[in-house]
Structure 1
């Protein structure tokens, strides 16, 4: 029987066309047709499964390897946007699907739905849907935090209701601070969420921010705003001058701080006692003290001994310094005069250099 069966298979694989109606086929031929039909169906099914798995793997890969231009979020930021998206899902499903009709019946149905696994599934299925740039990172975080979301939904959320809190009010704190431990409350930093300097009311005296604030990273040092310095940003930086004074009480002690800090003039070498060039303690190189105007620019081009420009070049004075440019040939249309701008002289010098290079190549 099997020998005849394989003979039929070989016959059908030959290049010669075989015309047989299904009704007139032998029993072996009918079995062969059924066998080949089953193989074809199995092949189609496998292709379909491979396509589905490829799509799933591609989407999963995107979640862990975001698109090229996407800015990677730190663990705390990623957790927060995911928790916020989950909370938005709670809001979208807060009225359920029972609006209209008998109010009493509707209320009973709604209460059952609000605490149901059906609602949780709907929220999870649509999480991150409102995001664009960070959607992939949100999905990966949602997968990692799935168990924490479920525990909060069936346990902590009910405690909110008992405390008359808004639904989802404790979600971010529970998920990101207490469970996944990737964030700290505002005003705290580091692995153990230590308080920042001056917490809670005067962190860095309001003139800077705490390094690692709100995350499990950083060292808690004050990163001062421009113009401020010191361990707690309690004074002006070296190139800024204080103006006015305020008092702040911290830990039972009165601290005297500058009301504001302004930058010393560009002509000052380091410190200053007031604003403008007349407030400089010492003039910067390239400037000289004038009893009327304070630190003024030195014109190095006015005297040969003050600049190093050669005879065949232009000397152009700049604030605190000077520049040398090669002179142009008189035949050039862009040949500037002494009063020309630096931009024109630079252009002319480049043209001159290009012309000289061409002449040199011709001679060679």
Structure 2
């Protein structure tokens, strides 16, 4: 291996490593939790282990004395230790985030356990909203947990979106598809209002006042206005729109240029049977580009098929002379066989015969 190849390989591997590292970092950041979500996961895990230890009790010794002196097991320090030992271990994702916050909030959780108790206050509200102040109540945002903006029918974001309701949120509405405005109370571009619901315009429209291609404010690129309605422009009418070795396929509002079959120099469509001109060592024959050998092979194979068909028909004729019922079944089978055989061929027998004998 020369040094130039070695350095090129090393450089490519280095670039790939940078690209993959960026992708992994982006994925990590995309999954990174904010403070509120971390707190929600921690409170859910704490509640999970409270439920898990709900049937526990003091083990061994004088249980009556322990409950009298150490309080009941339900509010005991022993149960709290069991909860804290299991905390976050059941999680399949974001376990590390949970562990970090659990360590930071250990004393706060102990205060809730001994002073308020698991039945006297909702842990999520007490811990995440009131104490740590990482979260806001539902439909509130910002440092002061202000109410999110209401729109139509006094609903948050008019019932067509969600509010950025974290402590660091700005309270702006994130509208559902089709809605726009500060309160998601108007239809977005290319949507129209129908019975208080924003419906999509026709695909031909660039803005509309109702359903259908005749309700467009203006036509999109690839469409033209004819008699008050936006209709598709057939770009493929222009034979020069694609390269010489490509053919045009029209789509609604656009077109696509596809390469001709490698046997064609120019063509009208895909496949080997739509050629309009050929390379120098081939001749155009019924849409095919072929040399003399291919043409001879095609003629020979066609004669073989024709002889087979004639033979089958002769057999059907002799059967018909003896029994018409059986002959009908045989003729049906032969017809199906011939149909499938011709359907699977690039060029059918009639076209070969007509090109060879009628030209």
Bucket of the pairwise TM-score, normalised by the shorter protein: 0.5 to 0.7
TM-score (structure 1 length as normaliser): 0.58
Rounded to whole Å, the distance in 2 between the matches of 1:148 and 1:93 is 20
Shift of 1:136: 2.0
Per the alignment, residue 190 of structure 1 pairs with 142
Matches within 5 A, 1:197-276: 197-198=149-150, 202-211=155-164, 213=165, 215-244=166-195, 259-268=196-205, 270-276=206-212
* Deviations, residues 154-205 of structure 1 (Å, cap 9, x unaligned): 1122xxxxxxxx7274211111112211111111112221111029961101
Per the alignment, residue 236 of structure 2 pairs with 301
Q: Does 1 or 2 have the higher relative contact order (CA < 8 Å, sep 6+)?
A: 1
* Deviations, residues 124-154 of structure 1 (Å, cap 9, x unaligned): 1111132122222211111011011011111
Unmatched 5+ stretches in structure 2: 1-26, 280-359
Per the alignment, residue 93 of structure 1 pairs with 53
Q: Classify the secondary structure of the residue corresponding to 1:322.
A: strand
2:245/2:267 contact within 8 Å kept: no
* Deviations, residues 292-332 of structure 1 (Å, cap 9, x unaligned): 8x31111122245xx54455543332322334456555x36
> Residue 138 and residue 201 in structure 1: after superposition, are their counterparts in 2 closer, same or farther (change >3 A)?
farther
Shift of 1:91: 2.2
Per the alignment, residue 171 of structure 1 pairs with 123
* Deviations, residues 66-115 of structure 1 (Å, cap 9, x unaligned): x979932221111111111112222233333269xx99999868952222
> Residue 181 and residue 208 in structure 1: after superposition, are their counterparts in 2 closer, same or farther (change >3 A)?
same
2:148/2:156 contact within 8 Å kept: yes
- The number of aligned residues is 246
Q: Is 1:76–2:10 an aligned residue pair?
A: no
Rounded to whole Å, the distance in 1 between the matches of 2:89 and 2:104 is 17
Per the alignment, residue 225 of structure 2 pairs with 289
Matches within 5 A, 1:137-152: 137-152=97-112
2:244/2:266 contact within 8 Å kept: no
> Residue 310 and residue 219 in structure 1: after superposition, are their counterparts in 2 closer, same or farther (change >3 A)?
same
2:246/2:267 contact within 8 Å kept: no
Shift of 1:231: 1.4
